[in-house]
Amino acid sequence: MYSFMNDYSEGAHPKVLELLMKSNLEQNTGYGEDTHTLRAKDYIKKLVGKENVDIHFIPGGTQTNLLVISSFLRPFEAVIAADTGHINVHETGAIEATGHKVITIPNKDGKVTTDGILDAVRYHSDEHMVKPAMVYLSDSTELGTVYTKEELYQIRQLCNREGLLLFLDGARLGSALTSKENDMELSDIAGLVDVFYIGGTKNGALLGEALVIVKEELKTNFRYLIKQRGALMAKGFVAGIQFEALFQDNLFFELGEHANDMAEKISSTLKQLGVEFLTPPVSNQLFPILSEEFLEELKEEFLFSVQKNMGNGQSAIRFVTSWATTPASVEALCNFLQKKLK
């Protein structure tokens, strides 16, 4: 049974594995101080368009989130996130476990809004409450949408005015940057946020997220913080080699594009069939609203997850595609949808 459950079901893209194989018996320096890691950083710096960013490869997304937020906030400071933000519910309180409150604001199609941020800042007015000090957002969001350059610019302006750091969780940045709705490049993002990461786990790697620290003041002694949280891999080159493979020939973007193409085939079919979506389908996560009766049939043939009960016997479900999604499986799904929903 083919799975559209998520984008971390398969291993690594063959080119990534190939480079791991090729360099396997080299003797590399530990803890990310090897030449592969260095090369991977150079490739990313070129795309980011800045030489003076700091880049660190972290094993996973939750770990990157907790590391960034706990490293850059003082104990009484809090992070603002959309209520749908990954750090709010789906990380087992990892942020709170580092001592920081997550202030939630209502999402708009999975995005934070300047109005929401401003409300949170104004509400927290004195020392009896936490002090909002960072905005967290995901691109693409947990509901599959992507930020426009103008949206991110407005959030940046607000952060400047209110003294907030801006942190972009890019666990699915590959899909975001190759979405048809996207009008940004890596260099635009690096120009607008203080810190962000480029997800490898969900876009071709076995594991690994490339954390990019843009803001100068945040760079100091960051390797101490990585080590203390248990995120400094002895074999750091295992991540370095993978990001080298992903960025030496634009593989990263090709993989994002493939995932989006696969998703678009599905969403086109659904649209033609008159199916509505919880949020606009623009990246590798789709949230069609379907009858529970039909879902009973669908789940006999394909794996997916249920996002939200919409009432009236309808549910929004989630289909996720990835670099590994096969055209054949998408065709099978589309055929099934057409046959059953027409």
What residues between 192 and 251 interact with a second copy by CB under 8 A?
201-202, 206-207, 221, 223-235, 237-238
State the minimum distance, in angstroms, from the CB of residue 342 to a second copy.
Answer: 28
Binding mask 150-189 for a second copy (x = CB under 8 A): ----------------------------------------
**Strand 314-320 relative to strand 285-286: parallel, antiparallel, unpaired?**
antiparallel
**Which helix H or strand E contains 154, and what residues bound it?**
helix 149-162
CA dist., res. 338 & res. 101, Å (int) = 46
Contacting residue, 49, 106, 129, 163, with a second copy by CB under 8 A: 129
- Nearer to a second copy (CB atom), residue 24 or residue 312: 24
State the minimum distance, in angstroms, from the CB of residue 30 to a second copy.
Answer: 5
- Nearer to a second copy (CB atom), residue 121 or residue 152: 121
- Nearer to a second copy (CB atom), residue 29 or residue 187: 29
Binding residues among 41-100 for a second copy as defined by CB under 8 A: 59-67, 70-71, 74-76, 78, 89-94, 96-100
Contacting residue, 6, 248, 291, 314, with a second copy by CB under 8 A: 6
Task: State the virtual CA torsion across 274, 276, 277, 280 in degrees, nearest 10.
Answer: 70
Q: Kindly provide the b/e burial profile for residues 175-207, where b requires at least 16 CB atoms within 10 angstroms of the residue's own CB.
A: bbbbbeebebebebbbbbbbbbbbbbbbbbbbb
Contacting residue, 108, 131, 271, 308, with a second copy by CB under 8 A: 131
State residue 6 phi and psi, 5-degree precision: -165, 180
Contacting residue, 51, 52, 127, 217, with a second copy by CB under 8 A: 127
Residue type, 151: E
- Nearer to a second copy (CB atom), residue 49 or residue 93: 93
- Nearer to a second copy (CB atom), residue 213 or residue 238: 238
Which residue intervals of 1-106 are DSSP H helices?
A: 14-22, 35-48, 61-72, 86-89, 94-97
Handedness of CA 181, 186, 191, 195 (dihedral sign): positive
- Nearer to a second copy (CB atom), residue 131 or residue 149: 131
Residues paired with residue 138 on neighbouring β-strands, in sequence order = 169
Residue whose entry in the numeric block shows the structure tokens 């990954």: 86
- Nearer to a second copy (CB atom), residue 111 or residue 124: 124
293: number of Cβ within 10 Å: 10
Stretch touching a second copy by CB under 8 A, among 4-12, 42-50, 139-147, 288-296: 4-12
Task: State the virtual CA torsion across 310, 278, 84, 131 in degrees, nearest 10.
Answer: -110
Q: What angle do CA 206, 140, 258 make, to 5 degrees?
A: 60
- Nearer to a second copy (CB atom), residue 141 or residue 182: 141
State the minimum distance, in angstroms, from the CB of residue 154 to a second copy.
Answer: 27
Query: Largest alpha-carbon pair distance within the chain?
Result: 61
3-state helix, strand, coil in the chain (%, to 5): 45, 20, 40
State the minimum distance, in angstroms, from the CB of residue 149 to a second copy.
Answer: 29
**Which helix H or strand E contains 236, and what residues bound it?**
none
Total number of residues that touch a second copy (CB under 8 A): 75
State the minimum distance, in angstroms, from the CB of residue 82 to a second copy.
Answer: 16
Binding residues among 243-302 for a second copy as defined by CB under 8 A: none
Binding residues among 9-48 for a second copy as defined by CB under 8 A: 9-12, 14, 17, 20-21, 23-30
Binding mask 311-330 for a second copy (x = CB under 8 A): -------------x------
State the minimum distance, in angstroms, from the CB of residue 248 to a second copy.
Answer: 18
Residues paired with residue 136 on neighbouring β-strands, in sequence order = 167
What residues contact 290, with CB distance under 8 A and at least 6 apart?
A: 275, 298, 314, 315, 316, 317
